[in-house]
Structure 1
Amino acid sequence: MDASRIRAVRRGAVAVVLVCAAVLLGGCSNPATSARKGGPTAQAALPLVANDLQDQYQKVIKEVLPSVVQIQAGQSLGSGVIYDDKGHVVTNAHVVGSEKTFRVTTARSEEPLAASLVYSYPEQDLAVIKLDKVPEGLRPAVFGGSDEVEAGQIVLAMGSPLGLSSSVTQGIVSGTGRTVSEPADDGSPGATIPNMVQTSAAINPGNSGGALVNLDGQVIGIPTLGATDPGVQGGAAPGIGFAIPASMVRTVAGQIIGTGKVTDSGRAALGVTVRTVVDDGYQPAGAAVVTVKAGGPAANAGLKAGDVITRLGDTAVGTTTELAEALAEKKPGEKIKVTYQRSGSRRTAEVTLGEQ
């Protein structure tokens, strides 16, 4: 299943503030308790539990929604999360695009606020912008720990889908540790992002850069991708979305705010540029090396332009995307066997991975 970038929506979309109604869930009472007690007490248990959950939803929404903003980047709209009380806002790199200045609408601002780009890091699809003037009462979000995220946890997605600001949807964490590749604007492979959080909370165009929040009011991820199903007309695969984990958001945003750029990505690299090649049957046959960085990991291991990488460790490589996904599972400094073809001959080399 492919994953497509949740695009920022066009400015023509109506920006309507939604009053978010919490979902009243049924069937949440303890069957054993109901059967044991019976009568009116058992009948009252169901609405009591449902009301408790509804109250928790509304409490989290009131706490976190003021920290989620709408970002206008040129003709497009996306979402962002207030990172600190100095006016820094974290969002997706594909939300800011090539723009340098932005209009930001907070939950409490009647008029959009001016903001400027601090730094964009497309490799992890994250960016930080900063409000030119920090308004009173700005409320930073609380970012949780990604290692505490587990499948089955209830989560809320907050953002501006289709330009509808301050929207909330609910779901669960469907999985963790997903590695997903985005398509670039020209359809070629874009960023490959490891350790993504998969969620069933509805994520639509304009949600990008918003907040995926647990019931403790902590941001556990930045919604970034929605899955597509090539076999379904329209392509959308409802109930499958992905968010960049909060730990990576803190790592990248902290470096950007502290130094103005990403100085330690933690992402492994070979030090090559590659393109996909096909065999005689026009099937993907490997990642052909186009350029090799002088003094880089691949160069030090003897790889040259024209070599075709077919395996990274135990993982077969047929395309540039597969190579990127295999590298996303590795760490800088790790030693890995690279299998490649040169002039029709199969060769191997041990490469000490560098950093992207």
Structure 2
Amino acid sequence: MYFGEEDEEIKATLMEQDPQVDLAVIRFEYAKYIQPLEFADSDQLKKGSFAIALGNPSGYYGSATFGIISYPKRYIEEDIDNDRIIDWEAEYIQHDVAINPGNSGGPLINLQGQIIGINTMKFVDEEIDNMGFSIPSNLVAQIVPLLEQGIKPQRPKLGVQILEIRSMNEEKRLSYNIPSDINYGLLVDSVEPNSPAGKANIKKGDIILYFNGVQIRYTHQLRNELNKLVNTSGKQIEIVVYRDGEEITLKAVF
């Protein structure tokens, strides 16, 4: 680990890392006190709020850049295992603060000096300018305690292929026999055997309306709720589905 102002390198030990969200926790000993930064509540971010990125872009130690929050909750599809199937819709903070190689892993802070996100990537294109993305602080605060214990986060899967009701046109709704009074939810197109969904008796043709008490309108909402179940074991979650003209409450175990 390198301290630029002192021009000093010290040994550090990797406790654990989570490549899916580009986070790692390291342990080191240092003679001087280092003031830790507090986490802010990233759910409270508003478009237009000021933000500052800290990092070492292109090796320029301790650089700071300034901008605003462009969109507090931006969801980006990700193929984690490179099988050309979307596995996740990760949540990011979109901002226009200038970030470059060397900013990744550095904090995005508010004007109170609190961490609102961890910078991780930006879009680069001749027609795109100032589109940076940070991991929300609330997600970081959830994952870091596990990494500190040397535990690699494990994210559960429900075990279904789904379609958004809201994105269906009339022809597709008719082909799937979606009732006219159902205008939200996720249609189950297939169920993996022995998955939490399969064991909970979720069936093809069911429409998931609620997951753990949260109304589900979009795919990313379901994935967000699953993301909250990191490293759970034996936790029972209620799932409300629409089937054959009625709502049924099922229980899945993760």
Fold-level match, TM-score > 0.5? yes
CA distance in 1, matches of 2:83, 2:59: 24
Mark the CA change 1:239 to 1:134 in structure 2 (over 3 Å): closer, same or farther.
same
Tell me the C-alpha RMSD between the 2 structures. 3.8
Mark the CA change 1:338 to 1:253 in structure 2 (over 3 Å): closer, same or farther.
farther
CA distance in 1, matches of 2:36, 2:5: 13
Matched, 1:243 2:134: yes
Letter paired with 1:328: R
Paired residue secondary structure (2:34): coil
- Shift in Å, 1:313: 3.9
Aligned to 1:328: 223
2:105 to 199, 209, 232: 209
Do the aligned residues in 1 keep the contact of 2:50 with 2:66 (CA within 8 Å)? yes
CA distance in 2, matches of 1:115, 1:192: 32
Matched, 1:171 2:67: yes
**Greater C-alpha radius of gyration:** 1
Mark the CA change 1:224 to 1:330 in structure 2 (over 3 Å): closer, same or farther.
same
Letter paired with 2:76: V
Mark the CA change 1:157 to 1:261 in structure 2 (over 3 Å): closer, same or farther.
same
CA distance in 2, matches of 1:297, 1:187: 22
CA distance in 2, matches of 1:164, 1:185: 34
CA distance in 2, matches of 1:207, 1:180: 20
Paired residue secondary structure (1:165): coil
Aligned to 1:223: 119
- Shift in Å, 1:173: 0.9
Paired residue secondary structure (1:238): coil
How many matched pairs?
Answer: 208
5 Å matches for 1:1-356? Answer: 104-131=1-28, 133-182=29-78, 188=84, 192-194=89-91, 196-228=92-124, 232-233=125-126, 237-257=128-148, 259-261=149-151, 269-271=157-159, 292=192, 294=194, 296-301=196-201, 313=208, 325=220, 327-331=222-226, 333-335=237-239, 337=241, 352=251, 355=254
Mark the CA change 1:108 to 1:193 in structure 2 (over 3 Å): closer, same or farther.
same
Do the aligned residues in 2 keep the contact of 1:268 with 1:327 (CA within 8 Å)? no
Do the aligned residues in 2 keep the contact of 1:197 with 1:244 (CA within 8 Å)? yes
Do the aligned residues in 2 keep the contact of 1:159 with 1:165 (CA within 8 Å)? yes
Mark the CA change 1:192 to 1:161 in structure 2 (over 3 Å): closer, same or farther.
farther
CA distance in 1, matches of 2:46, 2:7: 38
Paired residue secondary structure (2:128): strand
Judging by fraction of residues, say which structure has more helix.
1
Do the aligned residues in 2 keep the contact of 1:170 with 1:202 (CA within 8 Å)? yes
Mark the CA change 1:113 to 1:198 in structure 2 (over 3 Å): closer, same or farther.
same
CA distance in 1, matches of 2:22, 2:87: 9
Letter paired with 1:297: A
